[in-house]
Amino acid sequence: MIAPDTLSIHGASLNRRSFLKTGGALIVALGVKPGEGGAASATSSLDATIPTSWIEINADNTLLIRTGKCDFGQSSIYTAYRQIVAEELDVPIDAITTVISGDTDRTPDGGGTFGLLRTNVLNLRKAAAYTREAALELAARELDVPRADLSVSDGKISGGGKSISYGALVSGKLFQLTIPVTGAVTDFGGLRVTGDPPLKPPAKYKVVGQPIKNPSLRPKMSGETVWVNDVKLPGMLHARVVHPATLGSKLLGAGTVDKQQFPTARVVVIGNLVGVVAEHEYEAVLAAYSVAGSTKWSEWKGLPGHEKLLEHLKKSAQSSEVSAVDGAKQGDAAAAAAAAAKTHSATYFMPYHKHAPISPTVSLADVKADGSVTLHTHSQNPQFLRLAIARMLGKPESAVVVRTYPGSGHYGRSNGGNAGSEDEAVLLSRAVGKPVRVQWMRPDDMQWSTQSPASMATVRISLDKGGRIQAYQADHCGPPMQDDRPIGAVLAGLPTMEAPSPTHPSPLHSTTLRIADRWVYGAIANVAEAGHGMYQVGQRESPINVGLRDHSMRTPIQFQQNFPREVAFSEAAALAGVDPIQFRIDHTDDERFKTLLARLYVESGWEKRPSPSPRAGATGTQVVRGQGVGIMWRDNGYWACACQIAVTPETGQVKVERLTVVVDLGVVVNPLQLKRQVQAGSLMGVSQALHEEVTFDEGAVTSDNWAAYPILTMAEMPAVKVVIAPRPEFGIYGQGSEGANACAASAIAAAFFDATGKPARRIPLKPDYVKAMLAT
């Protein structure tokens, strides 16, 4: 039988484009309906007729996948994504030999690298399912066997006593499968594959669930991989940026370079953006220091200072500039609270945190005389970055290509495209007419990047006579989650998206504070949560419209809201005289949490009793020990964490001795990678709980190096136990390190209360704060 020119496959269309003498392929391209914009629109550099496809099947039975998402340590695009595609196509995992990621001219879908297994993987999963169905149709014709009699296994399609491999099916031919998508490639979330091709049921999974190793690690550890740090462009110049003296300073006069000392260096000034460009990197470093010394900035004192941040948040929350929004709401919490036998009411506080990658941000840009821009960088959302660069330059998106490379972890910082340096490299390259590499120094990265927003919450838990919760009330307050304005463009006075505001067209960039911490205590009859948003601290007061810019980090806003809820829950359990794990079991109606918490008892070596510990103490040089728990529901994942800590009251030293995480993520795609992600994410959480706080005076961030912004060291590492408790019957992929990151802090703070009898309602638990907590 001869294949017709076009076949419809569950709404996708399959075309045989030509016969080939050698090779052959099936490529999976995107289809965008006219008028829907996206990749086929005039502003796109993507051409749906060339191999910017999701999946390619080659005649030699190898496969290639493409994704607009990037890797910066999760491994998911090299492990889980390959597993999920291999599973849907029923090919061996090793057949997928190539993963192309991130580059805006070589990948189809765009979107941010977050929620990789939550929703984003559905694109490739559906693309693979469409491809399998198309191959089955082709095989039915090739083998002359009814479609219904065919099945796929291990890369071969068989039925009716005949069989053909994927490779043989495409050999000598070029097929294009056009699949339906919606959205635009430069949308924050990128394109979405639509339609409902039949997906393989999890009960039949063979590749998903295997501990596949990350193939990108060998070339990385051998030194072969070119990291963004290592990219060299022909004829490129090195640059450093002299950032303003404060987050509100305007340029009064740029310094000059001593040409005898720095013969190739020159200063570039664009608005308040001052760059120093030179042929040699260390020359650029020294010349920039020299220029910084003689550059004059206006004075500015528009920040409250970190010591007064809590007061500032309290005051801002009372303003009605930003409307409050409700979270969980049930019954009549105010009435139930009024009738309570006992009440726990307290205010909780979390400072600003820094994403603080080990490598400061670095980018290279090549702006050609014709205005075309190639940006070499490291981003969680290259297409959204492309949009921002085009907007900054007043050019169509088609003028900009973003190429991405491995780099330091982002932890959410660049999920809106930029982290810093990208736009500066573009502007400096345009100014000097050569490729320019901008490397931020450590203080640039600590002072001029965004931060994870600070927050405060007032929680009131009302108990009846029997110690059960009658009402839960919480008011969460804080600055917004996300400012995606590139800082170089802001300093240069060039177009960007708006700063967060109540009327921002993008809900993600609004000042509205949504309740992001999913409610888990369904057995409580009366609940009232509200979020009170505010403007970014110091931004409107800043003459350059900067101030303390915020950005999502790991578990954005959820961490800030989960910490007060869970610490308050442990304090309320003490007021009720009930073991804090039991107290949680008593107040959730979710069987998965009850199961998880029962497991946590066993796995964590928990001592079942109410807090504080009978051995608790708040004075002296003797170490006191305590245990604490916290739980969270995130991205279809159920998390429970227990920590055992040791406190030395006299010195204020806190040491986390053991950390146990039990996690139910539904279907676990790769238990090996998940274990590593959870271990690492948890330790970053310990770091935040013990050490981290962005400090600032009235004008600038003062925690501008690792001594001023300490993070966890290896010697401080607790024993970490990760227990993966999958529930595949729920058929949903949960995911890893983002959730793990937020679990430790509330467990550690609760353990502090257990050990000392004094509540810890703020982090970090650094000695000065601890001593103050113990003295109350």
Rounded to the nearest whole angstrom, what is the least distance from the CB of residue 607 to another protein in the complex? 24
Helical H segments across 588-665, by residue range: 591-604
Taking CB under 8 A as the criterion, the residue among 421, 536, 604, 687 binding another protein is 687
Nearest residue (CB) to another protein, 275 versus 302: 275
- On whether the CB atoms of residues 624 and 647 are closer than 8 A, the answer is yes
Torsion, Cα of 151, 154, 158, 161 (10° steps): -130
Task: Say how far apart CA 40 and CA 128 lie, in whole Å.
Answer: 21
Nearest residue (CB) to another protein, 379 versus 679: 679
Contacts for 659 with CB less than 8 Å, ≥ 6 apart: 641, 642, 643, 682, 686, 718, 719, 720, 721, 744, 747
Q: Does 258 bind another protein (CB under 8 A)?
A: no
Rounded to the nearest whole angstrom, what is the least distance from the CB of residue 229 to another protein in the complex? 6
Hey, what amino acid is at 696? Answer: F
What secondary structure letter does DSSP report for 229? Answer: G
Taking CB under 8 A as the criterion, the residue among 111, 357, 420, 734 binding another protein is 357
Rounded to the nearest whole angstrom, what is the least distance from the CB of residue 323 to another protein in the complex? 36
Taking CB under 8 A as the criterion, the residue among 214, 249, 379, 560 binding another protein is 214
Nearest residue (CB) to another protein, 136 versus 683: 683
Taking CB under 8 A as the criterion, the residue among 223, 235, 505, 614 binding another protein is 223
Nearest residue (CB) to another protein, 10 versus 280: 280
Taking CB under 8 A as the criterion, the residue among 83, 186, 439, 470 binding another protein is 439
- On whether the CB atoms of residues 743 and 685 are closer than 8 A, the answer is yes
Taking CB under 8 A as the criterion, the residue among 229, 298, 345, 398 binding another protein is 229
Rounded to the nearest whole angstrom, what is the least distance from the CB of residue 351 to another protein in the complex? 18
Task: Say how far apart CA 164 and CA 644 lie, in whole Å.
Answer: 58
Hey, what amino acid is at 588? Answer: T
- On whether the CB atoms of residues 722 and 739 are closer than 8 A, the answer is no
Q: Does 5 bind another protein (CB under 8 A)?
A: no
Taking CB under 8 A as the criterion, the residue among 123, 158, 272, 679 binding another protein is 679
Nearest residue (CB) to another protein, 24 versus 360: 360
Taking CB under 8 A as the criterion, the residue among 33, 147, 220, 296 binding another protein is 220
Q: Which residue has the tokens 């079942």?
A: 608
Hey, what amino acid is at 519? Answer: W
Rounded to the nearest whole angstrom, what is the least distance from the CB of residue 646 to another protein in the complex? 16
Q: Does 114 bind another protein (CB under 8 A)?
A: no
Whether residue 612 is preceded by a cis peptide bond, meaning omega within 30 degrees of 0, is yes
Q: Does 671 bind another protein (CB under 8 A)?
A: no
- On whether the CB atoms of residues 402 and 385 are closer than 8 A, the answer is yes
Binding mask 129-168 for another protein (x = CB under 8 A): ----------------------------------------
3-state per-residue secondary structure call for 399-411: HEEEEECCCCCCC
Report 65-84 residues binding another protein (CB under 8 A). 72-75
**First-residue to last-residue Cα distance in the chain:** 85
Rounded to the nearest whole angstrom, what is the least distance from the CB of residue 359 to another protein in the complex? 5
Closest among 477, 480, 415, 408 to 445, alpha carbons compared: 408
- On whether the CB atoms of residues 667 and 728 are closer than 8 A, the answer is yes
Contacts for 643 with CB less than 8 Å, ≥ 6 apart: 627, 628, 629, 656, 658, 659, 660, 718, 744, 747, 748, 750, 751
Q: Does 673 bind another protein (CB under 8 A)?
A: yes
Alpha carbon 713 to its chain centroid, in Å, reads 23
Q: Which residue has the tokens 């949560």?
A: 529
Taking CB under 8 A as the criterion, the residue among 21, 34, 222, 369 binding another protein is 222
β partners of residue 307:
none
Hey, what amino acid is at 310? Answer: L
Taking CB under 8 A as the criterion, the residue among 613, 737, 746, 756 binding another protein is 737
Hey, what amino acid is at 604? Answer: S
What secondary structure letter does DSSP report for 629? Answer: E
Look up residue 716 and give its two tokens.
Answer: 């401080």
Number of residues that bind another protein (CB under 8 A): 57
Nearest residue (CB) to another protein, 229 versus 330: 229
Report the SS3 class of residue 276: strand
Rounded to the nearest whole angstrom, what is the least distance from the CB of residue 411 to another protein in the complex? 8
Rounded to the nearest whole angstrom, what is the least distance from the CB of residue 365 to another protein in the complex? 18
Task: Say how far apart CA 643 and CA 717 lie, in whole Å.
Answer: 12
Nearest residue (CB) to another protein, 37 versus 409: 409
Q: Does 742 bind another protein (CB under 8 A)?
A: no
Task: Say how far apart CA 83 and CA 66 lie, in whole Å.
Answer: 14
Taking CB under 8 A as the criterion, the residue among 33, 218, 259, 615 binding another protein is 218
Q: Does 441 bind another protein (CB under 8 A)?
A: yes
Rounded to the nearest whole angstrom, what is the least distance from the CB of residue 244 to another protein in the complex? 20
- On whether the CB atoms of residues 723 and 579 are closer than 8 A, the answer is no
Largest CA distance in the chain: 88
Rounded to the nearest whole angstrom, what is the least distance from the CB of residue 116 to another protein in the complex? 14
Rounded to the nearest whole angstrom, what is the least distance from the CB of residue 672 to another protein in the complex? 6
Q: Does 672 bind another protein (CB under 8 A)?
A: yes
Task: Say how far apart CA 159 and CA 151 lie, in whole Å.
Answer: 7
Rounded to the nearest whole angstrom, what is the least distance from the CB of residue 567 to another protein in the complex? 22
Tell whether the torsion through CA atoms of 9, 12, 16 and 22 is positive or negative.
Answer: negative
Starting from the edge strand earliest in sequence, which strands make up the sheet with 624-634, in order? 624-634, 637-648, 653-664, 719-724
Report 705-724 residues binding another protein (CB under 8 A). 705-707, 711-717, 720
Nearest residue (CB) to another protein, 223 versus 234: 223
Rounded to the nearest whole angstrom, what is the least distance from the CB of residue 707 to another protein in the complex? 6
Q: Does 325 bind another protein (CB under 8 A)?
A: no
Rounded to the nearest whole angstrom, what is the least distance from the CB of residue 614 to another protein in the complex? 31
Task: Say how far apart CA 80 and CA 674 lie, in whole Å.
Answer: 10
Rounded to the nearest whole angstrom, what is the least distance from the CB of residue 109 to another protein in the complex? 23
Contacts for 623 with CB less than 8 Å, ≥ 6 apart: 646, 647, 648
Q: Does 680 bind another protein (CB under 8 A)?
A: yes
Which phi and psi (to 5°) does residue 563 adopt? -55, -55
Binding mask 472-491 for another protein (x = CB under 8 A): --------------------
Whole-number Cα distances in Å, 627 to 638, 744, 749: 20, 12, 9
Task: Say how far apart CA 216 and CA 102 lie, in whole Å.
Answer: 15
Binding mask 268-307 for another protein (x = CB under 8 A): ------------xxx--x----------------------
Which phi and psi (to 5°) does residue 542 adopt? -80, 125
Which window, 186-194, 210-218, 253-261, 307-315, contacts another protein (CB under 8 A)? 210-218
Report 601-640 residues binding another protein (CB under 8 A). none
Angle of helix 737-756 versus helix 558-576 axis, rounded to 10? 30
Q: Does 260 bind another protein (CB under 8 A)?
A: no
Report 366-425 residues binding another protein (CB under 8 A). 406-409, 411
Which window, 151-159, 169-177, 520-528, 668-676, contacts another protein (CB under 8 A)? 668-676
The contact set with another protein (CB under 8 A) reads: 72-75, 213-214, 217-218, 220-223, 226-227, 229-230, 280-282, 285, 356-360, 406-409, 411, 439, 441-442, 672-673, 676-677, 679-684, 686-687, 705-707, 711-717, 720, 737
